Amino acid sequence: MAIKDTAEEWEVRATDTPFVGNKTSVRTDDVVMPDGSVVHRDYQVHPGSVAVLALDDTGRVLVIRQYRHPVRQKLWEIPAGLLDVPGENPLHAAQRELYEEAHVKAEDWRVLTDVYTTPGGCDEAVRIFLARGLSEADGRRYEVEDEEADMELARVPVDELVRGVLAGDLHNNCLVVGVLSLVAALSGDGLDALRPAEAPWPARPFEP
């Protein structure tokens, strides 16, 4: 048997949306189980996200430090953002986020990995890109606001981030998955063997 996730959809007898927020909502589905019983499943409906592991020529990763209110912590993260427009090309969104959060552009883009953040309670899918060939972006810096106004930027060696992840000092999902995926790619077939930036993404279909 191939170890590969596969699409499957169980019957939904009824559905309700008890909460609708600015970007996400909460849905309740009555789902038919294999034995014929029906159970309630509550989950967050999310537009999807992109994240960028930006790797410079000296082997350092561009990271940002930002306050995250739900967990009451300032977390070190990689640039990331929502797919605000249905069908939005994730590469274009990732390039925008790298520009807005770090004022950086990249020449080489690859898909590092695709993940569901919390599939037991949320349908959020994230595509994490690898960006190389970094340089300062053209034009004026993007004007940040809210939590982003207090954001810090740094470039940190990959091995230092790995130690932080394994020591329990770094917790952001995209940073953890991105950094460990990078190390796996480097020790495997290499970064040039990663999927192209426009590779299909069944979890969030997009326009070319």
Could you give phi then psi for residue 78, rounded to 5 degrees?
-100, 155
CA distances to 2, 116, 137 from 28, rounded to whole Å, are: 32, 19, 43
Q: Note whether residue 36 is domain-resident.
A: yes
- Examine the domain organization and report whether 20 and 111 are in the same domain: no
- Examine the domain organization and report whether 19 and 41 are in the same domain: yes
* Per-residue pLDDT tens listing for the chain (208 residues): 789 999 999 999 999 999 999 999 999 999 999 999 999 999 999 999 999 999 999 999 999 999 999 999 999 999 999 998 888 899 999 999 999 999 999 999 999 999 999 999 999 999 999 999 999 998 777 666 555 668 899 999 999 999 999 999 999 999 999 999 999 999 999 999 999 999 999 999 887 7
Active site residue 148: yes
- Examine the domain organization and report whether 75 and 155 are in the same domain: yes
- Examine the domain organization and report whether 74 and 172 are in the same domain: yes
Q: pTM, whole model, 2 decimals? A: 0.93
Of 11, 101, 107, 148, the catalytic one is: 148
Domain range spanning residue 140? 49-196
Q: Note whether residue 23 is domain-resident.
A: yes
CB atoms within 10 A of CB 88: 18
CATH number for the domain that contains residue 66: 3.90.79.10
